[in-house]
Amino acid sequence: MAKIEFDGVWKRFPDGTEAVKDLNLQVDDGEFVILVGPSGCGKSTALRMVAGLETISEGKMVIGDRVVNDLSPGERDIAMVFQSYALYPHMSVGDNMGFALKMAKIPKNEIEERVNKAADILGLTEYLHRKPKALSGGQRQRVAMGRAIVRNPQAFLMDEPLSNLDAKLRVQMRAEIAALQNRLGVTTLYVTHDQIEAMTMGDRVAVLKLGELQQVDSPQALYDNPDNLFVAGFIGSPAMNLAEGTVDDVDGEIRVKLGTLSSLKVNDKALERYPGLRSRVGGKVAVGMRPEHFFRADGSTPQDQMMPERNVTMVELLGSEVLVHFGTSASPIITEDMRQAVDDPEAFAEMEREAREGGQQFVSKMEPQDAPKVGDRVDVGFRADQMHFFDIETGLALR
Amino acid sequence: MAKIEFDGVWKRFPDGTEAVKDLNLQVDDGEFVILVGPSGCGKSTALRMVAGLETISEGKMVIGDRVVNDLSPGERDIAMVFQSYALYPHMSVGDNMGFALKMAKIPKNEIEERVNKAADILGLTEYLHRKPKALSGGQRQRVAMGRAIVRNPQAFLMDEPLSNLDAKLRVQMRAEIAALQNRLGVTTLYVTHDQIEAMTMGDRVAVLKLGELQQVDSPQALYDNPDNLFVAGFIGSPAMNLAEGTVDDVDGEIRVKLGTLSSLKVNDKALERYPGLRSRVGGKVAVGMRPEHFFRADGSTPQDQMMPERNVTMVELLGSEVLVHFGTSASPIITEDMRQAVDDPEAFAEMEREAREGGQQFVSKMEPQDAPKVGDRVDVGFRADQMHFFDIETGLALR
Amino acid sequence: TPGGDDDEAEGGEMVWAIGGSEAQVGGVHQTIAERWSEANPDNPIRIEILPEAADEQREQQALDLQAEAGGFDVLGVDVIWTGEYSENEWLESLEDIRGDIEAVTLPGPFETGIWGGELWAAPYNSNAGFLYYRTDLIDTPPTTWEELCQVAEEAGSAEGIAGFVGQGAQYEGFVVNWLEYYWGLGGELYNEDQSEVLFDVELATQATEFMADALSDCYAPGFNTSMEEEARNEFQGGNAVFMRNWPYAYSLIQEDTGSPANENFDIAPLPTFTGQGTISALGGFNNAVSAFSNNKEAAKEFVLWAATDPEVQATLATEASLPPTMASVYDDLADDPVMSLLGEVLSEAKPRPPAPQWNEISVTMQRALYPAYNGEGDPRSAAEEVLAFLEGTVGN
Amino acid sequence: MADTQIAPEPGTRAGAGPGGPRAAKRKGLSERALARVFVAPSVLLMALVALFPVIWAIVISLFLYTRRQQTGFGGLENYTDALTSGRFWDSVWFTFVFTVSSVTFEFLIGLGFALLMNQAFRGRGVTRAAILVPWVIPTVIAAQMWFFMFNVTPGFINNLLGLGNFNWLGQPGWPIFAVVFADVWKTAPFVALLLLAGLQTIPGDVYESARVDDAGMFQRFWFITMPLLKPAILVALLFRTVDALRVYDLPAVMTQGAFGTESLAILVREFVVRTPNPGFGAALSTLTFILVLGVGMIFVILLGRDLVIGTEGEE
Amino acid sequence: MSDTAPAPVEEVTRRGQARKNRRQGGVVEQRSTLQVWGKSALLGVILLWCLFPFFWLIMTSLKIGDRALNSPDLFQGPFGLQNYEAVFGQNFHLNLRNSFVVAGATTIICILVGSLTAYAIARLPLKRKILLLSGVLAVSLFPPVALVPPLYELWRNLGLLNTWEGLYIPYTAFTLPLTIFILMTFYASIPKDLEEAARVDGATPFQAFWRVILPLAAPGVFAAAIIIFVLSWNEFLLANTFAPRNPEIAQTVPVAIAAFTGAVPFQRPIGTITAACVIVTIPMIIIALIFQKRIVAGLTAGSVKG
Ligand SMILES: Nc1ncnc2c1ncn2[C@@H]1O[C@H](COP(=O)(O)OP(=O)(O)OP(=O)(O)O)[C@@H](O)[C@H]1O
Ligand SMILES: Nc1ncnc2c1ncn2[C@@H]1O[C@H](COP(=O)(O)OP(=O)(O)OP(=O)(O)O)[C@@H](O)[C@H]1O
Ligand SMILES: [Mg+2]
Ligand SMILES: [Mg+2]
């Protein structure tokens, strides 16, 4: 077992792409760290650098207490689940899983035992003798998983290992991986796009954007206290609603005004978390509101905790909950930063248009029994203590 | 545009594997049907049969009003996103996306226009000149997407097209696909493991298990009224809690007793949906309870709508909500059916053990503010109208 | 006499490097080697069989000799290699046995062993060209080339077959054929001791022009791609009236009872342009002693024996139809039609000059004259080219 | 596993400095060293066999000879002689024409064969072997055979086509055709074999994509097969070209170099074997070598661009 | 042109399925009888093209008698096995043995040594690869006839004349470039991820090569093996120089064939040559038949996503 440390690590591809920029991240011995970030932000590259599959353009990579920059992958003693699986096509599923053990000269019967056990866990027992090409996509992914979990390495590197599994299996696998990691105490770096995995599996979550580390913290901390707009917008699904707000001081009570209509009270709890807000009175800030903190207002809801008569534009039934989209006159946030995070010129253009028109859609999560219909005008409440505030230019939280 | 019809379709692989068994499914003209099912249940195979990439062992495949069993893929005029992407490694991203158009002899400038538009949507504009091998996994998947969406075919076939994208991009893509499908009115068959995609994108959802179609219905109907235990357990994440219950008639009030402790009232609403339950008084049935229908009971909760003093064994914070696992003495359901659905002998063995010991863990979804701590003993309420009942042997809903 | 460094190596087995069909097991060279070994158990001789093609034989000998490896003691050398080998100092001079050999050998073949006035190779077997003709189509063989061509055309077209076949492909055989015309016109290449060029451009042009004309008249189709075997096959298959070829064809045609030519052919000396006498190019192989041999004395004895022992020489003729070089043998072979004709022809046959440059000369002639007779070049300038080259060879 | 905090790498722990990270010592061979070890045997073997003779040949090409007798140092005289001789340029021209035409046809036919051999049908194995037959026949014998085929005597082709006594080998123009024809017959299977092997490397799912994209058979061939087959094509063309540039047997046996069919290799052999002039022969060899290598380099660079660059060390 | 989708033979041999499942993955393709006939006809033409001359060889080798052998009529008798008897009367089995040893050794060494080098060039970090490749190529490009005299000298000094080693060593050296180029393209076509997976699994670079890359390059390896074997089997120049005589020692088949002579000087031994040629061609056809089985598509199918 060993810690993994990125010490000012850069990756430049021959064509000049900088996939990882000055990454500083320490994964402690036995820790389980989740790596998240938009597609193409350098997660796989970072993992591959740990594994020794990409040269390190600059900086130091440390595993245990060895600088491993020049060590070959085999010498690093890590197990990896490749995003592309990279199964050995000429070997049966069993041989694929046992290959690393065979290389480590583990006795045959022990190999068999460990492979069978892993196959059990992964539900691959009946496919042990098949070649990868006769497997379904998810089965292949499980084989890739199996190749890692039969081992007992210094570190696990897993690159979206569950992305092609069905929900049920994924739940099971999550539990298995967590249990395994717990039992072996193996340092683990885990890439995922699944918010649930990100929030539940790891000790800490590291958020990358365009090769740059944004924030590393425990999942809940990340969720509750995002360091900047990007993290705020990235963590959580559906994403946090972000809008331009004007800060007012009404009789010593700080309020934010979104667009033309609403003026919401910022309560003390929120002010405690964002003390920087006080100095912004009269100015504009970025306001973040998570969908699940909206609720269907009723008579008892104070006026300064709700946006009255919102026009419902879309209702998505998710079974256990409902996503209600409604219109606001709040201007969306447009920073260069956002622009990059959106990574999609057209969406950006639309946002700009919306900004000009001074209005955007908010998404709220409501109880199914509270669900309005499209076209309804509803009063939408918001929990005053749950607001987030960021500098509109730098995107940094107003702490 | 054209309907797609599976008419008693079978697929047997040369090694004898029956990947699709007697599939009867009609996707209407312009309809958006989602195909879900456990890993390896034959979803990709079904799609590939529509595309003409797998021969049909038995049955008829109809697109529009032509039997296409013997038509080559090209003649079927369908666009497909492959689960494995199948990008052209020697072509740039732009050429990959434009290839089908080039084959269709679309003028160059129009190709360029359409490719640029798709690249915009997919956030690939800056990669248009790269070769696939210099892309990240998610970027490759987007190229695969792009290859399909530049076209205007009779049908879209999409095999987990968003599985490797981050949450944010996925939300965007979902919207784009839905909009595109709406705009073009193209019949679409869409495979996914993502519950949200399954629940929000399609007109109908088809559930496959081991090659057999289980149920086809609108997402909400599927969620609310699963036809059998398998669908009940498969749709929804976290999955529905399933346990053996004894049906009692207490003064004309139907109750179910789970394990030794609790006896829950079945209210009229539930009875309306499961009239078959009445005839089972005194017998055992399978009871299904969705996690989101639990709540933290308080003084006002009637005794017959709660399980008192449950031992909290795990609490998962998901940000917007909390999963609370608690112990019960309810016996789990073990049918051959279940066994197959679980597809994992070890998990099965554990379930059997639990069954002997007469107890299993339930998962509930609660508001973060209601979250107990591990080790707490809490009273867990359940919404009496939301119970599901199935025959314990056949797994069929007791309608 | 040679140096004494080989004294201690005196005795032991000798190696005779010779190729061709007769070197194979059962061939006459083997018989002769066995005969020698029986008579000289101290210095037996063994054959290293060289490949069939002359160029290959020469190449293999050259590798050994160039390396001064001494792997070969006795070398079977083509009559045209004498000068080259001696100039390379690969050969032991045979001057001390010259007299014995010269006394009994036909002059033509003997000359082929001489270079720079010295004897380097002992004559072993010889060869000369014949005119084969169809006795059923013509009565008497023509004596001039013009006549031959005319008769060939007439008889050929009457019969629906070709007139004349010979060696017309671009290779050494073509040079031989051309020289036979050129010599037949009275031309010469060099003077006696090869110190002066006597090449006559006029005659050479005539010879080439004759061939060029004949190519469209009396030569068989494919004449310009035919070698010995192609010629024989055409004649033997009954497709030609005349053939210029070596004696080997005789027995083959005679044995082929299915051939239209079988029983219906005869041989005659090659014609000339004057109708006088006959001229043929000489072929054959001589035996030389390697300068790197460890056993030169015995080797010399062997080559002398092979050149002068009447029994050996007779065996060549009787067992293998190889033309002997020893004059007296022909007297005993008078009733063999081939041998008797050979006896006649050989005395007038001309060796190609065994100069060291012969290969270059031959190549030059091929490259100049072959296109010329094929209408691809001017015969006169081709002849001038040859002359120029020949003159270059006498300077050094 | 040990319960130590520190990486339990036996043998490396002893040297672990307290606290701070340190550069780890390598164990075993680094990739770079291994690469050298992998390359070494080939290089040694090839150097052992080829280096000395090539250097020797290049050295003697600087000396003047009269036949086999060295007559002194000549510097580049042999080269200037060669480059100013019409015979040299004639043979360069023939070699060039031969190479271009034979390689073109070999490639086209070989590609066709390869595509055929790649099909699934009963008797494919036998067909594959049958297609290879021309190539396994020793060249000299094949050359002899084609001489018999084309020559007036015995005249198989004339017989077959009823051409009477058409003199394929004995009139200007046609001998080149005959030689090229024989070479194409003989070596198209070689190209086919290489391309067949190359076809196996093309992933099947790309074809599925292409079918779905409604690419017809020809389009799949042109847009998918050809580009993905490029490395194999380059290798096949490379070795066919350099071999064709050094063709010897076919013209030597079929025409003896007559009617402008003297190839560079025939010329070289002329001066090495038939009319030996080691210096001049070596100079001709060196010129041939430079020419062939020059052409070969074009392919190597094309190939290298495809295959090698990018895997090269990044420093 | 034909389609190039991978098409393993096994599937074809299941006759019932064969009609529907023509190719792997069972891509649907319509086949009219016309197409079938067209393809069969094409196949026929190709086989005729390839095999007619070989047929000529066989017919000629069976002919006896001088004139039959030289006749343009393939069926002009008389026929008999005398030519074959004559061939084996000349210790030809020893030549076959020599050729087998020499070609076999060349093939094995070439594949072993060449594989490693090709792998290093295709995948391992090396500087100046293009230069190395050019050097490798250059080795085989010098006109061999010019290399013969110095090599002869060298071999004589090393005592390698008339030995098997004396032949397969230079053969290996001169065939290595081809081997390296062929295998290099193959290794380069194998997804890099596989090897990376192996390295992560603790395989040394050599093990990764040996256990993962090499098996997947089988089509290339076997194609190369066929080529090397045939080239060294048929090599003439060096064999004729370094071991020109003595079947007991090292004379190879082509040299032996070239040494065949007619019954009398000048006579061309067509009968025995063709017979020998048929004899030596058959082992190579068998080898090609065996090796070609390994030239199959789709070896890397299912290994990587994307
Ligand atoms: N070529 C083949 N030969 C034999 N069995 C196969 C072959 N291809 C797939 N299968 C099997 O058929 C079943 C269905 O495969 P399919 O790829 O359709 O699954 P899927 O539903 O797409 O699964 P996933 O969600 O994992 O992609 C699987 O059990 C698989 O193992
Ligand atoms: N070989 C390469 N050459 C140039 N750029 C590359 C190369 N490989 C990856 N990249 C680029 O580097 C960036 C990071 O890639 P990486 O694979 O690490 O992304 P990722 O975070 O894993 O994304 P995903 O979630 O889509 O898998 C991407 O923008 C990608 O386009
Ligand atoms: Mg990635
Ligand atoms: Mg699938």
Chain D: residues touching B (Cβ < 8 Å): 203, 205-206, 208-216, 219, 223-224, 227-228, 230
Query: What is the average per-residue pLDDT within A29-35?
Result: 93
Asked if the Cβ–Cβ distance from B137 to E306 is below 8 Å, we say yes
Task: Report the pLDDT value the prediction gives residue D8, as an integer from 0 to 100.
Answer: 34
Mean residue pLDDT of chain A comes to 86
Strand-pair partners of A35: A191, A206
Residues of chain C with Cβ-Cβ distance to E245 below 8 Å are 48-50
* pLDDT interval class at E7 (50, 70, 90): very low
Whether ipTM > 0.90 holds is no
Mean pLDDT of B344-369: 69
CB contact under 8 A, B74 and D213: yes
Which amino acid residue places its CA nearest to atom 4 of ligand 1? A134
Q: What is the 3-state secondary structure (H, E, C) of B9-77?
A: EEEECCCCCEEEEEEEEEECCCCEEEEECCCCCCHHHHHHHHHCCCCCCEEEEEECCEECCCCCHHHHC
**Amino acid identity for residue D212 in this structure:** V
Mean pLDDT, residues C84-96 taken together: 89
- Over residues B166-210, the pLDDT tens digits come to 888 888 888 889 888 888 889 999 999 988 888 888 899 999 999
Write out the residues surrounding ion ligand 4, Cβ under 5 A. Answer: A 136-137; B 44, 83
C3 pLDDT higher than 60: no
Other CB atoms within 10 Å distance of the CB of residue B357: 10
Pick from C12, C13, C1, C27: nearest CA to C285: C27
pLDDT confidence tier of residue A342, bands split at 50, 70 and 90: low
Contact yes or no for B54 and E25 at CB 8 A: yes
Say if residue A352's pLDDT is above 80: no
Q: Look at the block and give the residue holding tokens 């046809």.
A: D105
Burial tier of B89 (Cβ tally within 10 Å: 0-12, 13-18, 19+)? middle
Q: Which of E10-14, E32-36, E150-154 has the highest mean pLDDT?
A: E150-154
CA distances from B349 to B259, B345, B353 (A): 19, 6, 6
pLDDT tens-place string over residues D202-256: 888 899 889 888 888 889 999 999 999 999 999 999 999 998 998 888 888 888 8
For residue C159, what pLDDT is reported? 84
Return the pLDDT at D15. 33
**Does residue A177 carry a pLDDT above 80?**
yes
Q: Say whether A84 and E198 touch across the interface (CB within 8 A).
A: no
- Residue B40 in contact with ligand 1 by CB distance below 6 A: yes
Examine the pLDDT at A161 and tell me if it is beyond 90.
yes
Pocket perturbation via mutation, ligand 2, pick of B135, B162, B169 by most ligand atoms within 8 A of CB: B135
| Beta carbons of E288 and D128 less than 8 Å apart | yes
Once rounded to an integer, what is the mean pLDDT over residues C268-278? 86
Q: Which of A87, A135, A145, A173 to mutate to test the pocket of ligand 1 (most atoms within 8 A of CB)?
A: A135
Q: Which of D1, D22, D29, D311 to mutate to probe the A interface, most A CBs <10 Å? A: D1
Provide the pLDDT confidence category of residue D10 given band limits of 50, 70 and 90: very low
Q: Please determine, for residue E103, whether its predicted confidence score (pLDDT) is greater than 80.
A: yes
> Quick check: A70 and D28 CB within 8 A?
no
For residue E21, is pLDDT > 50?
A: no
Query: What pLDDT score does A24 carry?
Result: 94
Q: Is the peptide bond before B161 cis (omega within 30 degrees of 0)?
A: no
Any idea which ligand is nearest the CA of A138? 1
- Higher-confidence residue of B331 and B79: namely B79
Distance C32 CA to ligand 2 centre (A): 84
Amino acid A28: pLDDT: 92
Q: What is the 3-state secondary structure (H, E, C) of D49-106?
A: HHHHHHHHHHHHCCEEEECCEEEEECCCHHHHHHHHCHHHHHHHHHHHHHHHHHHHHH
**What's the whole-number mean pLDDT along residues D104-130?**
88
Mean pLDDT of E156-172: 88
pLDDT value at position B270? 84
Average pLDDT rounded to a whole number, residues B90-112? 93
With contacts defined as CB-CB under 8 Å, which chain E residues touch B83?
A: 305
pTM of the complete model? 0.88
Q: Which residues line ligand 2 (CB under 6 A)?
A: A 13, 15, 17, 19, 37, 39-45, 83; B 134-139, 164
pLDDT at E3 over 60: no
Which pLDDT belongs to residue B147? 93
List the subunits that have 3+ CB pairs under 8 angstroms with D: A, B, C, E
For C105, counting Cβ atoms within 10 Å of its Cβ (0-12 exposed, 13-18 middle, 19+ buried), the class is buried
Tell me: pLDDT of D24 over 60: no
What's the mean pLDDT in A202-212? 92
Do residue E173 and residue D301 have CB atoms under 8 angstroms apart? Answer: no
CB of E258 within 8 Å of a chain D CB? The answer is: yes
Q: Under a CB-based contact definition with an 8 Å cutoff, are residues D257 and D263 in contact?
A: yes
**pLDDT tens readout for residues C133-161:** 998 888 888 888 888 888 888 888 888 88
Residues in chain C closer than 8 A to D257 (CB atoms): 170
pLDDT band at E208 (very low <50, low <70, confident <90, very high): confident
pLDDT digits (tens, 9 = 90+) for A267-293: 888 888 888 888 888 888 889 999 988
Mean pLDDT of all residues in chain C?
Answer: 86
d(CA B385, CA B30): 36
Question: Atom 17 in ligand 1: which residue has the minimum CA distance?
Answer: A136
Q: Is A9 helix (H, G, I), strand (E, B) or coil?
A: strand
> What value does the mean pLDDT of chain D take?
82
* Residue E30 pLDDT greater than 80, yes or no: no
Nearest listed ligand to the Cα of residue B41: 1
Q: Indicate the range of C7-11, D99-103, D171-175, E111-115 predicted with least confidence.
A: C7-11
**How many angstroms from the chain centroid is the CA of residue A371?**
28
pLDDT band per the 50, 70, 90 thresholds, residue E247? confident
Whole-angstrom Cα distance, residue C47 to residue C72?
9
Q: Mean pLDDT, to the nearest integer, of C278-284?
A: 88
| Average of per-residue pLDDT across D13-19 | 34
* Candidate from B10, B45, B81 with most ligand 1 atoms within 8 A of CB, to mutate: B45
Cβ–Cβ gap B319/A236 under 8 Å: yes
Give me ligand 2 centre to Cα B230, in Å: 39
Q: Which two tokens stand for residue E93?
A: 């089995």
> Greatest CA span in chain B, whole angstroms?
78
Confidence at residue C374, expressed as pLDDT on a 0 to 100 scale: 87
Residue E11's pLDDT is 38
Residues of chain C with pLDDT > 70: what percent?
A: 97
Residue E33: the pLDDT is 77
- How far apart are the C-alpha atoms of B338 and A168, rounded to whole Å? 12
Segment C310-315 mean pLDDT? 89
E78, E68 contact by CB (below 8 A): yes
Q: Which comes out higher in pLDDT, residue A97 or E36?
A: A97
